[in-house]
Amino acid sequence: MLYIATDRPLGPVVSDRLTIEEVEQPLLDELRSIFSKPSVRFVGVEGGCSCDFRHVLADAPFDYFDGMFDHEDPERRDRSDAVARELLAIIQAPLQNGGSVELYPTWAGERLSMPKGSHTMSASEVRPERFFFAEDHLYTVLP
């Protein structure tokens, strides 16, 4: 599950695959303890979970390395690249004028806990074909 936090609620989202949905109580209260931004939403892929975003389990964020996702079939690779591109497009508006966006990926059904770590990245440096999340880590995206 991928959650996004912004300073202002995200406006209408035009995306082929992604949905931005409100989060209901009591989950919203739990997520507010993780995020510093006031507006929290769920990012779904085609109306479901966020599984098409590449993700790993790790104690600390680490950099992509060649061969990391070689096990992916070409169709999954294309889907993962596409959802990463669409997410980058969606967060462009909140990043204007020096803003930032926070992202928190976690496993569906797990009780939320404080992030294992945090990672700051520049949206302009993200390459969709190399992009992945470390679950239960907080990501701050800058312009």
Q: Return phi, psi of residue 37, to 5°.
A: -90, 145
pTM of the full structure: 0.92
Q: Of 72, 16, 51, which Cα lies nearest the Cα of 133?
A: 51
**Contact criterion met (CB below 8 Å) for 142 and 121:** yes
- Give the pLDDT of the chain (143 residues) as one tens digit per residue: 999 999 999 877 778 899 999 999 999 999 999 999 999 999 999 878 898 999 898 887 788 888 888 888 889 889 999 999 999 999 999 999 789 999 999 987 777 888 999 999 999 999 999 999 999 999 999 99
**Contact criterion met (CB below 8 Å) for 127 and 51:** no
Give the three-class secondary structure for 55: strand
Q: Of 81, 83, 13, which Cα lies nearest the Cα of 45?
A: 83
- For the chain, give every domain's residue range: 2-142
